[in-house]
Amino acid sequence: MWAGLGLVLALCLLPGGGTEIQNCKEAPEWRIGEENPMLNSRGSVTVVALLQDLRVKLENEGLVNIWYMVVNHKGTYSQRKFHLLKESVSDHITVYQQDEKQADVWTTLNGNKDDFLIYDRCGRLVYHLGLPYSFLSFQYVEESIKIAYCENKCGNCSYTIIDVLQLV
């Protein structure tokens, strides 16, 4: 455990890039059916996107307690392909299908296709990355997650890395 903690603390000292929108505002409320995914994510750095390979890489580097989710587009075509999306991601990534009767989550989050929204442990938006910054072949997404994980970009948060590691 101490080796993992040392790695996490070392990663937290890495300088971050100047990656795109940083708002530090709490996520707007959105729901999938009766569930409020952001409310359930408190205490974890939260990434709203599709990150199967990056998730494993970050866990292997000692960054644990990161919650990944995908919100499928509300359009008819995307809804028909939902089962394919769900099958294509890891079991560790929650995939949500929007309810036709509810407000569009993508609109609520001011998001577009291939966007990554990265929130701190207190549910505040740290980065909103759109194309081309959301291409996983670049380091922007990974570095943004590490910054949200290791730094207090949006000020103090009642959840800390040490508190989270004690829960593991």
User: DSSP for 121-160?
Assistant: TTSBEEEEE-TTTT-TTSSHHHHHHHHHHH--TTS--S--
In this prediction, residue 22 has a pLDDT band, given cuts at 50, 70 and 90, of low
User: Can you tell me which residue has the tokens 């948060």?
Assistant: 157
Dihedral sign for Cα 126, 131, 135, 138, please: negative
pLDDT at 8: 42
Whole-model pTM: value is 0.67
In this prediction, residue 9 has a pLDDT band, given cuts at 50, 70 and 90, of very low
Q: For 61-81, what is the mean pLDDT?
A: 89
Q: Tell me: pLDDT of 48 over 90.
A: no
- Note whether 96 and 37 are within 8 A (CB): yes
Q: Tell me: pLDDT of 24 over 60.
A: yes
How do residues 26-43 score in pLDDT, each as one tens digit?
777 888 788 887 877 777
